[in-house]
Structure 1
Amino acid sequence: MRAVHADEAGSWFIRGGLAYADFHASGTVAINGQQVPGANATVRHNTGFAFETGYFLTPDWSVALTLGAPPTAKIYGAGTLRSAGELAEATYGPAVLALQYHPPLHGRFRPYVGLGVNYTLITQTRDAAIKHVHVDNGTGVALQAGVEYRLTPRFALFVDAKKIWVSVDARGLAATPAGDMPATSHLTLNPVIWNMGVSYHF
């Protein structure tokens, strides 16, 4: 049987490396059903590892699934809630399924773009200023752009960026002068996830 060469229809690739999530987060906060004036929430940037596997439908088009080793995001109060400090932590597993286009270019540099869907799975939460925290999973749209630098026909270095539009809902109990009150928040995360590492085509 003839070996399948990289970038032919029916071939596969895997990518893996360091990932950096740059959040562009904001959120509304309500306590006991009343929105807190000027209250906001933000999410600290974090780093982790991401892995992508893809399959070439044609020499120019592929479908790819990206998974991240679950990092932990820290949620902080902002605006009138800045003095509250850290509100909670959430460990999440990001996943992106995308259709990618690879322009038919020759040479060592191979760019690609993609459009897909994101699913953010919350695997664990930890209380801070907010007690009994629960964060819902989220879905959204993802845009992707990247480039590979081929070291050999099969091995390459890559840099990749994914812009994700995703929001989640969170709830718990907030301490107030009248005692613990139900607190809810709608968090818009909208991260840009930068990924760099090594890819292998087979």
Structure 2
Amino acid sequence: MNTLSSTARWALLAGLVLAGSAQAESSPWTLRLGPANVRFSTDAEVSVNGARVPGANAEASSNTTLGFELAYALDPRWTARLLGGIPPTTTLTGTGALAGTGTLGKVTYGPLAGTVTWNLLTDGPVRPYLGAGLNYTVVFKSRDGFIANLDAKSAFGTVLQAGLDLPLSDRWTLSLDARKIFVKTQADGVLPAMGGAAAHADVRLDPLVVFLSLGTRF
């Protein structure tokens, strides 16, 4: 009787483990983690006391941070994705007519991109996909440089995405993709070197985010 009871308990435990594994394998949810590199294509129009400064421009330094993506498979072809990451800090440097000013300031930001992708292939060792969506770049903190009282604004933008999945097993996937984000923002401050003149910039950032990740269904 005890032997039968023990066998039944082990059978029940094995069934629960197998059921949990099958549920994970069939789950539509995937979590991906890995390095995300952000490279900006910056262009700025700078004004001082309301007058545009010809040739004045700025560039933003590239960043690499830990990215994470939560994905939900709507069906075998369509997937909804949300990408975020640990907020990095970019350094703004003057170029053109501002080349001698050095560091204009620093901005800690977090690009949050929501996209929907279409899988070109649903089977095979390599599964490419294309997608599009919306981005919200959140500015968490601005630090002064040549510009004092720097205030950079959060902004919405659009996203184009292309990537590929390399399934390692039923649960694990290695992924590589790129998201081109089109976003324009504004920044304000004052210039102590020019007697506290008011500075304003319309800045097009247009970053390219390259994300290498390992994902698991859960």
* Pairwise TM-score range, normalised by the shorter structure: over 0.9
Which structure 2 residues correspond to residues 142-161 of structure 1 after superposition, within 5 A? 142-161=159-178
Match of 2:192 in 1: 175
Letter in 1 for 2:115: A
2:134 to 114, 117, 120: 117
Letter in 2 for 1:48: T
Match of 2:87 in 1: 70
Over residues 48-97 of structure 1, what are the superposed CA-to-partner deviations in whole Å (9 max), with x where a residue is unaligned?
11110011111111111111210001111110101001101000011011
Q: Indicate conservation of the 8 Å contact 1:40/1:80, yes or no.
A: yes
Match of 1:23 in 2: 40
Which stretches in structure 1 are left out of the alignment for 5+ residues?
none
Cα offset for 1:107? 1.7
CA-based RMSD: 1.6
Which structure 2 residues correspond to residues 18-97 of structure 1 after superposition, within 5 A? 18-97=35-114
Which stretches in structure 2 are left out of the alignment for 5+ residues?
1-18
Structure 2 residue 123 is matched with structure 1 residue 131: no
Name the structure with the higher helix share.
Answer: 2
Runs of 4+ in 1 over 6 A off after TM superposition: none
Q: Name the larger-Rg structure.
A: 2
Match of 1:193 in 2: 209
Aligned equivalents of 1:176, 1:91: Cα separation in 2: 24
Cα offset for 1:148? 1.4
Q: What TM-score, normalized to structure 2?
A: 0.87
Aligned equivalents of 1:89, 1:95: Cα separation in 2: 19
Aligned equivalents of 2:157, 2:23: Cα separation in 1: 35
Q: Indicate conservation of the 8 Å contact 1:21/1:47, yes or no.
A: yes
The number of residue pairs the alignment matches comes to 199
Q: Indicate conservation of the 8 Å contact 1:135/1:169, yes or no.
A: yes
Letter in 2 for 1:85: G
Cα offset for 1:169? 0.2
Q: What TM-score, normalized to structure 1?
A: 0.93
Cα offset for 1:22? 1.1
SS where residue 170 of structure 2 aligns? coil
Q: Indicate conservation of the 8 Å contact 2:121/2:128, yes or no.
A: no
SS where residue 100 of structure 2 aligns? helix
Over residues 95-140 of structure 1, what are the superposed CA-to-partner deviations in whole Å (9 max), with x where a residue is unaligned?
0111111123322212111110000000001000000000010111
Q: Indicate conservation of the 8 Å contact 1:21/1:46, yes or no.
A: yes
Q: Indicate conservation of the 8 Å contact 1:20/1:47, yes or no.
A: yes
Q: Indicate conservation of the 8 Å contact 2:162/2:177, yes or no.
A: yes
Q: Indicate conservation of the 8 Å contact 1:160/1:195, yes or no.
A: yes
Q: Indicate conservation of the 8 Å contact 2:76/2:122, yes or no.
A: no
Name the structure with the higher strand share.
Answer: 1
Q: Indicate conservation of the 8 Å contact 1:87/1:128, yes or no.
A: yes
Q: Indicate conservation of the 8 Å contact 1:4/1:11, yes or no.
A: no
Cα offset for 1:160? 1.0
